[in-house]
Amino acid sequence: MGWVTEYHPTTDELNACVQCGLCLPACPTYRLTGRETASPRGRIQAMKAVHNGILEVDGPFQGVIDFCLGCRACEPVCPGMVPYGRALEGARAEIAAQRPGFGHRARSFLLGRVIGSRGSLRAGSGALRAAQATRATALAPSRFRRLAAGVRPLGGRPRATVGHIGGGGESGKVALLAGCIQDEWFRPVNHAAIALLEMAGYRVEVPIGQTCCGALAAHDGKADAARALADRNVPVFMGYEQVVVTSAGCSAHVREYRHWSPAGEQIGERAVDVTVAVARAIETGLLPRLTARSGPMAIQDPCHLRHAQRVTAEPRSILEAGGFEVVEIDPAGMCCGAAGLYTVLQPMASAELGNRKAAQIRSTGVTRVASANPGCEMQLRSALGAGYEIAHPIEWYLKAVMEADESGRVAAVRTAR
């Protein structure tokens, strides 16, 4: 039958692979198993076989594709510049269309309708908050228990950010994409972004009418849902020159909105990850560099920042400006195993990768960790257990700035600029 949707991997995408194998050592699932079918090259060959009518979109094909993390560590090392992430999303859209079981239908509802509705998200978060308060999360099935263990305590959160308008505007105007789960479970990150951008002199608007960016839906093959969500966001953000996104997975997706909405390219060109926006503000003197020492900080690179956007210097420069001594944990930048719904759908491989990452962090002896992606943060919290503090680099920086400000040092730094 071959492909049946418009999202399928294209001839150009697949033919870009010259089968050199340079991507194999970078691929976490290949490193875990040593199997060619668990490598980028093997997966592209499987997609090509379907494309050429040799294979069907059947169970074995789905197994090969489902085991992929979508971490895109294969992209930066690829001499053929294979757009692997795009091809993977296309292959997953085909699986969702051709093998629509209960799981796919349930996830389609969850990733399209539920997280696209602020009311549903609020209700879900209320239930999770109650479960946290009564420790009922410990009774969840094991694959969900690991996920639940990584969620920040939801009690006492600040107000939702959508609808916020503030800041002087002498440095310009930016919009903030609040996200779905990001603004429910990681709201302090959005508040830190607003505080820092306003401190830098920006007028910050979090426009009403925005919704989930669609990244989770796209990564899971729910392409129609991803397109519908992008179509809702594009007109909301069209009036802004810069759209700041506070989750690495979301910023990577919005920057590729050209695949998802007719006018998406214009939004994609204006979208920046918050680490890039804050690092620029520090670089241009709009935000301070502290002279105070804030101690060691382990840093974890989310795949959708490091591999999909090639952003590695900015989170480090933010932490250094906050006076932190950055401690590297993994120069190779292997995936932590979070990868959207991978924690739930491939629990064993996810746990193995999470435990490896936790061991790397433990070996440094540092108990404070910076991670710029909510999924990675949850995975690390779950794998590390008690005794570790994990937050976004901009949260660590804001905390250091506020503490320095209390002792008058920020004022001194700003005066000296």
Q: Which of 68, 212, 358, 384 binds ligand SF4 (CB under 6 A)?
A: 68
Rounded to the nearest 5°, which phi and psi values hold at 289? -105, 125
Rule CB under 6 A: is residue 69 a binding residue for ligand SF4? Answer: yes
Region from 20-28, 231-239, 243-251, 294-302 binding ligand SF4, contact rule CB under 6 A: 20-28
Asked if 324 contacts 399 with a C-beta cutoff of 8 angstroms, the reply is no
Rule CB under 6 A: is residue 83 a binding residue for ligand SF4? Answer: no
Positions of E strands within 168-318: 172-177, 202-205, 243-245, 271-273, 295-300
Rule CB under 6 A: is residue 22 a binding residue for ligand SF4? Answer: yes
Rounded to the nearest 5°, which phi and psi values hold at 227? -65, -40
CA distance 73 to 75: 6
Residue type, 281: A
Q: Which of 8, 13, 43, 341 binds ligand SF4 (CB under 6 A)?
A: 43
Q: Which is nearer to ligand SF4, 107 or 304 (CB)?
A: 304
Q: How far is the CB of 57 from ligand SF4 (least distance, A)?
A: 18
Q: Which is nearer to ligand SF4, 16 or 292 (CB)?
A: 16
Rule CB under 6 A: is residue 18 a binding residue for ligand SF4? Answer: yes
Rule CB under 6 A: is residue 277 a binding residue for ligand SF4? Answer: no
Rule CB under 6 A: is residue 72 a binding residue for ligand SF4? Answer: yes
Q: Which of 3, 13, 14, 29 binds ligand SF4 (CB under 6 A)?
A: 29
Spell out the alpha helix ranges (H) of 109-159.
Answer: 118-133, 142-149
Asked if 185 contacts 155 with a C-beta cutoff of 8 angstroms, the reply is no
Rule CB under 6 A: is residue 103 a binding residue for ligand SF4? Answer: no
CA distance 260 to 339: 20
Region from 62-70, 101-109, 218-226, 238-246 binding ligand SF4, contact rule CB under 6 A: 62-70
Contacts of 123 (CB under 8 A, 6+ apart): none
Total residues interacting with ligand SF4, rule: CB under 6 A:
26
First to last CA, the chain: 65
Rule CB under 6 A: is residue 334 a binding residue for ligand SF4? Answer: no
Nearest to 317 by CA among 291, 283, 343, 368: 283
Asked if 392 contacts 377 with a C-beta cutoff of 8 angstroms, the reply is yes
Region from 3-11, 75-83, 89-97, 120-128 binding ligand SF4, contact rule CB under 6 A: 75-83
| Interacting residues toward ligand SF4 by CB under 6 A | 17-23, 26-29, 40-41, 43-44, 68-74, 78, 80, 82, 84
